[in-house]
Structure 1
């Protein structure tokens, strides 16, 4: 699975406050969006997404 381009995500999406796919605020029922990914500097991020109904913007 190919994840989103980390350079295009904002800080809220990288830290799991908003959905990595659509940018909506996440609630308690968020799901992991694949395995953790690393940026160019080696920092690891676990991306999160909305439930199944998430619509990528």
Structure 2
């Protein structure tokens, strides 16, 4: 199985489960390691998405 095929299977699983796949904007350039920046970009996007869905109690 190629990487592209593997990614396609993961996307299909995410879609079938009611989830999805995000490509967060590149907003965190703080770390020298680009992969760390990608993780921080994702964390920032998830925090942003979840806070917009929260309702006050």
- Range class of TM-score, shorter chain: under 0.3
Higher fraction of strand: 1
Greater RCO (CA < 8 Å, at least 6 residues apart): 1
Q: Find the structure with the greater CA-based Rg.
A: 2
